[in-house]
Amino acid sequence: MGIFKNSRIFVKIFFLFLIVLLLSVFSHVLVAQKVQQEFLRKQAKSITRQIVLTRQWIAGLGGVWSKDTYSKTHGFLSQYSEPSSDGNAAAVFYLHNPALATREISTLADIRHGYNFRVVSDRFREPKNKPDLFESKALKRFQTQKMAYTDGFQDGLYRYTEPLFVKQGCLKCHGKLDQDVKEPMKTILLEKYGQKAFDYKVGDVRGIVSIKIPQQTLVTLLSSIFTVWNVLIGVISILLFYLFTRFMIVKPITQLTHVANKLSEGQIDIDLGTAEIKFNTKNEISQLALAFERLRKSFEIMYRKLASR
Ligand code: HEC
């Protein structure tokens, strides 16, 4: 602090300006982060909407069939071979249920190219649908409180989750066994998964949609908000501060110091340049100059009295 006490006014003001500048950059970054989160949330919401719609479409159809092909890594729920009438090889159809189709589509979405998603459940049949810590926390919150979504940043990623509600179409495969689930689906599901995942009710939270989007780094964030214009405004502000300090504060004080020195050397007929200053001025430095002028005048009177003795 001692250094600051003895340093030039300009240095003090410059440091003050620097602190204000840094605080303003910091507040800009906070705002940009908020805007980024808002933007990512909107993006995640619309991705989720698309996933939910796709699943609803597949559920409405009772699953979708592919002819002769299916993904080797994901498999299929059921298969059906068309009877061959002319001796050629029969076409084979494979059934894709919503959870399976979601997994198949999600492997196409690469995080390096924008985003990644999956549907997870606490009572998963498929190990790939096991939730991680962020997801199981979100799922628990959705099951206990009414919340539209949860989100946050983790390991350079924006993470977003939304509850997945059971709709009427889901009951074809998840409803009451003796009422909603019809043959042949009933046998297929019972054979493949046993009694699991039935008795869902419309409105239940059965799982969550989980989205991951890469977060912008601080550098890209800063370069997205600060342009050459901001730099220019910064330079102009520094210049204005410099000119103000130099000509409105430092220069008049230096001049006053100069005349005060002369006064101390006994030179009492100097012009302090106070002729143009109004006596009721609000400028503190002008007030100081007027006080000096009064001091000078009383010196003058004193000298004259001394000389006339
Ligand atoms: C055509 C039958 C079918 C329909 C319709 C269906 N599901 Fe499923 N669902 C399954 C099967 C089979 C599984 C387990 C295997 C898997 O994940 O592919 C499953 C799994 C799930 C899972 C857990 C993921 C897992 O691995 O266990 C959730 C959650 C789920 N379904 C919710 C729904 C919702 C919500 C709907 C309605 C939009 C729906 N399902 C419609 C057949 C279906």
For residue 49, pLDDT beyond 90: yes
**Relative to the CA of 124, which ligand 1 atom is closest?**
27
**Relative to the CA of 77, which ligand 1 atom is closest?**
12
For residue 1, pLDDT beyond 70: no
Q: Does residue 205's CB lie within 6 angstroms of at least one atom of ligand 1?
A: no
Output the CA 206–ligand 1 centroid distance in Å.
Answer: 9
Which tokens belong to 179? 């009422």
Q: Does residue 116's CB lie within 6 angstroms of at least one atom of ligand 1?
A: no
Res. 152 pLDDT band, cuts 50 70 90:
very high
Q: Does residue 166's CB lie within 6 angstroms of at least one atom of ligand 1?
A: yes
**pTM of the shown model:** 0.76
Q: Does residue 174's CB lie within 6 angstroms of at least one atom of ligand 1?
A: yes
Q: What is the dihedral of CA 4, 9, 13, 18, to 10 degrees?
A: -50
Per-residue pLDDT reduced to its tens digit, 5-43: 888 888 888 888 889 989 998 998 888 888 889 999 999
Q: Are 181 and 173 in contact (CB under 8 A)?
A: yes
Output the CA 140–ligand 1 centroid distance in Å.
Answer: 19
Cis peptide leading into 184, omega within 30 of 0? yes
Per-residue pLDDT reduced to its tens digit, 56-85: 999 999 899 999 999 888 889 998 888 777
Res. 308 pLDDT band, cuts 50 70 90:
confident
Which is more confident, 82 or 118?
A: 118
**Which residue's C-alpha comes closest to atom 37 of ligand 1?**
170
Q: Does residue 100's CB lie within 6 angstroms of at least one atom of ligand 1?
A: yes
How many C-alpha atoms does 122 have within 13 Å on its Cβ side? 14
Q: What is the pLDDT of residue 272?
A: 82
Q: How many residues does the chain have?
A: 309
Output the CA 136–ligand 1 centroid distance in Å.
Answer: 18
Q: Mean of the per-residue pLDDT values for the chain? A: 89
Per-residue pLDDT reduced to its tens digit, 187-235: 988 988 888 788 889 998 989 999 999 988 878 888 877 889 988 998 9
Res. 151 pLDDT band, cuts 50 70 90:
very high
Amino acid at 96: H
How many C-alpha atoms does 81 have within 13 Å on its Cβ side? 6
Task: Report the percentage of the chain scoring pLDDT > 70.
Answer: 99
Question: Nearest to residue 62, comparing CAs of 51, 77, 74, 42?
Answer: 77
Q: Are 80 and 53 in contact (CB under 8 A)?
A: no
Q: Are 39 and 147 in contact (CB under 8 A)?
A: no
Output the CA 130–ligand 1 centroid distance in Å.
Answer: 14
Q: Does residue 63's CB lie within 6 angstroms of at least one atom of ligand 1?
A: yes
CA 151 to chain centre: 11
DSSP string for residues in 50-100: HHHHHHHHHHHTTSEEEES---TTT--SEEEEPPPSSSSPPPEEEEE-HHH
Q: What is the dihedral of CA 146, 149, 153, 154, to 10 degrees?
A: 80
Provide the 10 A C-beta neighbour count for residue 207.
25
Q: What is the pLDDT of residue 2?
A: 65
